[in-house]
Amino acid sequence: MQEQQRILWAVSSVGKGHIMRDMAIVKQLRRLADVQVDWLVPDPGRDFMEARGYRVLEPSADLLGSGRVYGQVLADCVDEFNLISYVLADTQLHKHDFLVSARAWEHTSYHGIVGDEAFWLLTGFAAHWAAKPAPFIFLTDFIGTKAMRPRLRDRWVAWYKNFQFTMSHRGTDRYLYIGSVEEIPDERLGVGLPSRSAWAERHCEFVRPIADIDRAVSPDRPSLRQHLGLPQEDYVFLATVGPQGDFRRRMAVIEAVFEILRSEFEAHFILLCPEPGEHPWIQYARYLEGLPRYFAAADFVITESGYGKIVELSAVGTPFVAYPLPYHFEQEYVMRHRLDTYGTGQLVTLRDHTPQEIAAQVRRGLGTQAAPIDVDKGEEVARIILETL
């Protein structure tokens, strides 16, 4: 009988996007082999995974970085989500979180370690803070950081962190980039440093975007809407607002867009957001199980430009506009380049577009159909992990 493979899996929990794709990969791993996965998940993702029956290790509660710091740094932000502040705060905790994580393998043997943007492990193994107990596979969907404002401090920090980043591959056995090299901006990481795409081509293996959806989400939209309890004849507009910073301000913008659309269309409106609003004609929800099905059933989607939702929308072909958190390097700079490569969706910044202008973009996009991108359900990465073990 083949020996059970035991994997330690660490995931950044700045949002659910990383967690959802990791769950998809693990689902494929369990289909292909006998594996046990132990999880290191910082808050706030820890509760989400424990509630779904995943084996989350006790040291997770002592991890101070990732999602916890992300939330703290962005809690008071209104007009600017400065990721340089987050990068500084998070990297200062890398050694603490690495040593906390090391408790997981002190008395347990693992065949492999996987880190989905678990930069504290990437840094620790590259710096040799402790001996690597098993092959380490790192997953990411962006390369380096970037100062989005012309401040000398931010530009210096971005250059220094990118300089450190260029040596990060030394801590991995496999460095997987989820996506293609074409979607990485061909821009230097800094003076005297390589371009983002050139560095990735040299050190990364490229795998297809991951989304746990069937190529045919449903045989047809009417049956899908019937299954989800959505109206058949009306338009369905869906929007998402994340919990970062002053989310009520972003909710108000989306509600204003919905007000305009309501005056023009017979429609059903869904707003996925941290707390319910005051409009009885909007269906508010904190979480929708099987969100890609709702995306496929909708006529148009307005979403924050997080990686997971963008991939799911691009895979089902529903027209959408994506708005980044203001000056958020990954959501604004990287995602604009990614959408241009995919040929799906449009990116709009809330600071530059009024509700009337966003509603006009929705109006223009209704009925359009982008060619769905090719996605993988997690099997490609699962096979690479098993091959490495």
Element of type H or E holding 178:
strand 174-178
Residue range 250-279: average pLDDT?
A: 96
User: Long-range pairs for 146-149 at CB < 8 Å and ≥24 separation?
Assistant: 146/329, 146/333, 147/84, 147/329, 148/82, 148/83, 148/327, 148/328, 148/329, 148/332, 148/333, 149/80, 149/82, 149/327
Contact 146, 157 (CB under 8 A): no
What would the mean pLDDT of 92-100 be, rounded to a whole number?
94
10-32 residue pLDDT tens: 999 877 788 999 999 999 999 99
Region 369-383: mean pLDDT is 92
When pLDDT is cut at 50, 70 and 90, the band that residue 219 belongs to is low
Q: How far apart are CA 304 and CA 307, in angstroms?
A: 9
Residue 244 has pLDDT above 90, yes or no: no
Q: Is the pLDDT of residue 55 over 50?
A: yes
Residue-level pLDDT at 216: 47
Residue 376: per-residue pLDDT = 94
Q: Is 265 helix (H, G, I), strand (E, B) or coil?
A: coil
Residue 128 has pLDDT above 50, yes or no: yes
Q: In the prediction, which pLDDT does 274 show?
A: 92
**Rounded mean pLDDT, 85-100:** 90
Interval 135-151 mean pLDDT: 93
- Structure confidence by residue, pLDDT tens digits, 293-341: 999 999 999 999 889 999 999 999 899 999 998 888 899 999 999 999 9
Report, in angstroms and rounded to the nearest whole number, the Rg of the chain calculated over CA atoms.
Answer: 21
* Confidence grade of residue 90 (pLDDT, cut at 50, 70, 90): confident
The percent of residues above 90 in pLDDT, for the chain, comes to 76
Which of the given ranges, 43-52, 61-70, 228-237, has the highest pLDDT on average? 228-237
pLDDT of residue 69: 80
pLDDT of 52 over the 50 cut? yes
Is residue 310 a contact partner of residue 241, using CB atoms and an 8 Å limit? no
End-to-end CA distance of the chain: 17
Rounded to 5 degrees, φ, ψ at 284 are -90, 145
Report, as an integer, the average pLDDT of 51-63. Answer: 93
Domains of the chain: 5-209+376-388 (3.40.50.2000), 221-365 (3.40.50.2000)
Average pLDDT, the chain: 92
pLDDT at 215: 53
- Order across the sheet with 35-40: list the strands: 35-40, 5-11, 112-116, 136-140, 174-178, 205-207
